[in-house]
Amino acid sequence: MSAPGEPSSSDHEPEQREHAAVSAGKAVVLGVRDAFAPAFKVIELVGDHVILFARAMSWLPRRPYRAGNYLEACEYIGFGSLAIVLLVGAFTGMVMSLQSVYAFRQFQLESFAGGTTGKALALELAPVLTALMMAGRAGAGIATELGTMRISEQIDALESMAVNPVQFLVLPRLVAGMLMAPILTLLFFVIGMTGAYFVAVVGENVDHGQFVLHTRDILLPLDIVQGLIKSVVFGLLVILIGCYQGYNAHGGGRGVGLGTTRAVVYGSVIVLMSDYFLSQILLQIIPPEAG
Amino acid sequence: MKLDHDGSPLEQPHPRWHVRVRGLDKSFGTNHVLDHIDLDIERGKVNVIIGASGAGKSVLIKHFMCLLRPDSGSVWVDGTDVFALATKPLAEFRRKFGLVFQFSALFDSLTVEENCAFPLKEHTGKNKAEIKEIVRDRLSALGLDGTQRKYPGELSGGMRKRVGLARALVLEPEILMFDEPTTGLDPLATRNVDEMILAACARYKVTSVVISHDMASVFRIADRIAMIHEHKILAAGTVAEIQASREPYLYEFIRTSGVAAASGARVVPEAGAP
């Protein structure tokens, strides 16, 4: 029973109902937010990468230019990945050629091996495998280097010395990634085709003239251009992810290790996923018969 | 025109206070680090900020040069509203400061000489010979002759701190900030670093801001002390004022550190004493 002068319980009812409605509303909002949390996280991550890229590029036309930083980054990403790219390129071309020769031999068409290997290398294998090698070597290396600089306050030190760390550390690496990836891809393709030729012509006795002729028929110059366009995008993605993971590392050595792992895993997955969408777009722009 | 508590305009340099912090609030997510901080840093003196680990001391001094931006509040350095500066003037403004980091933050891939030459190469048009001469002078003043070609990994903790200071000094800053300069050093190295701070301040006539919780070291070097506790400035004043304070937490902080609050003298024997 309520005391005299106090409002009765029925006076509270509309208020309680309102409270209940508000609580239910909040619960629904929280539930939806929790359910879609992974999706929000992915969107946030993509957004953060875009912002880092935009921030870096906004520094491109501004002084000081620091040519030395660009050359150093090109040397690290390009020359540093050269040996592994050439090795993988040679063996990829060789095995593709070997498998193609054996497959086409069933129809006495083994001289087509050069063309099909060339097409596969130019359009897919060279850009994709080069990007994967870059993710494993340069992407991981950059994530570790920048991550160590972050946790040992070297990035803060740069900022305290009035040097913009994005301009100093991230921009040269992104530019180097976009420049070096197509060069490495082209080298991958050239060494891959050389390997393919030796396996087919020298190892499997395919006729030299037929091999070259069919390669010219099937492999178009625009296929190589298409592969190189892809490689620029892949190079950017792999290096951007490495920079992001390193630049935002936290939590000591474990944090740097996690960042490095993510740089390789995210970099590789994004290359393979974006390859499909890029291929769809490029096939519309540059149809196969265009060459 | 914005006026300070004492009626002096904030937009003009104050004769006594080099840095004036007004109503600074800073949170990281739900973690409230600084709560309406008001603080004055005296020109040409050694100003020490003390407080427990995680009290927000480093976060506070990073606001002085806009390495962090607050949720609200302002920092005035010689009449300049730090957070109102655009990118280019801010870069220029930051050259007023030299920051010596807790773990030195030297660039691993550069030698001692290259580390010290870095700010000069970035911000001055000096040629190689001039830069080399300035670096040699700073290293020599800090007793680091012969370390020019060494990498930071080859140096002891105390030497790295000194290289960090040499790097901070090459651009002749007006304000030198030290983030826990004696943490992790043995007592002799701690005393050396204290002497180095005093010598550098006297020689280059800079305003110093030192973060520390080593009270013996604090009383050796400080002209003014401010204490941060529970996100606020608990006490601030000259060394004598702080020593005379009967604020319970401050008194306990000093007492448990092994230093007598009344005199600033150690109450435990110095290392090596019988």
A11 within a domain of the structure (yes/no): no
Let me know whether A227 and A274 are in one domain.
yes
pLDDT at A202: 95
Mean pLDDT, rounded, for B113-122: 94
Let me know whether A80 and A54 are in one domain.
no
Judge whether A164 is closer than 8 Å to chain B, CB to CB. Answer: yes
A37-58 helix and A221-247 helix, angle to the nearest 10 degrees: 100
Judge whether A159 is closer than 8 Å to chain B, CB to CB. Answer: yes
Q: How many CA atoms lie within 13 A of A20 on its CB side?
A: 6
Low-confidence ranges of chain A (pLDDT < 50): 1-5, 290-291
Of A154, A160, A164, the CB nearest to B99: A160
Q: Which of B148, B217, B229, B149 is nearest to B185 (CA)?
A: B217
Q: What is the residue type of B18?
A: H
A3 within a domain of the structure (yes/no): no
In whole angstroms, what is the distance from residue A253 CA to residue A232 CA? 32
A267 within a domain of the structure (yes/no): yes
Let me know whether A228 and A112 are in one domain.
yes
* Residues paired with B212 in a beta bridge: B50
Judge whether B103 is closer than 8 Å to chain A, CB to CB. Answer: yes
B252 pLDDT exceeds 90?
no
Mean pLDDT, rounded, for B67-76: 94
Task: Report the predicted TM-score, pTM, of the whole model to 2 decimal places.
Answer: 0.85
Let me know whether A39 and A98 are in one domain.
no
Q: What is the residue type of A83?
A: A
pLDDT at B274: 37
pLDDT at B267: 41
pLDDT at B8: 80
Of A149, A152, A161, the CB nearest to B103: A152
In whole angstroms, what is the distance from residue B34 CA to residue B55 CA? 8
pLDDT at B181: 87
Residue that terminates a domain, selected from A6, A40, A58: A58
Mean pLDDT of chain B: 87
pLDDT at A289: 66
Give the total number of structural domains in chain A: 2
B262 pLDDT exceeds 60?
no
Let me know whether A21 and A123 are in one domain.
no
Q: Which of B65, B71, B73 is nearest to B89 (CA)?
A: B65
Residues 116-175 of chain B whose Cβ lies under 8 A from any Cβ of chain A: 118-119, 122-123, 171
Q: Domain range holding A244?
A: 67-290
pLDDT at B266: 42
Let me know whether A42 and A96 are in one domain.
no
Let me know whether A83 and A212 are in one domain.
yes
Judge whether A157 is closer than 8 Å to chain B, CB to CB. Answer: yes
A250 within a domain of the structure (yes/no): yes
Let me know whether A85 and A145 are in one domain.
yes
Taking only the tens place, the pLDDT of each residue in B184-243 is 778 888 888 898 889 888 888 899 999 998 888 899 999 999 999 989 999 999 999 988
Provide the token pair at A31.
């539930």
Let me know whether A33 and A170 are in one domain.
no
Of B62, B94, B106, the CB nearest to A162: B94
pLDDT at B271: 41
User: Contacts of residue A157 in chain B, CB cutoff 8 Å?
Assistant: 99, 101, 105-107
Let me know whether A52 and A175 are in one domain.
no
Let me know whether A39 and A167 are in one domain.
no
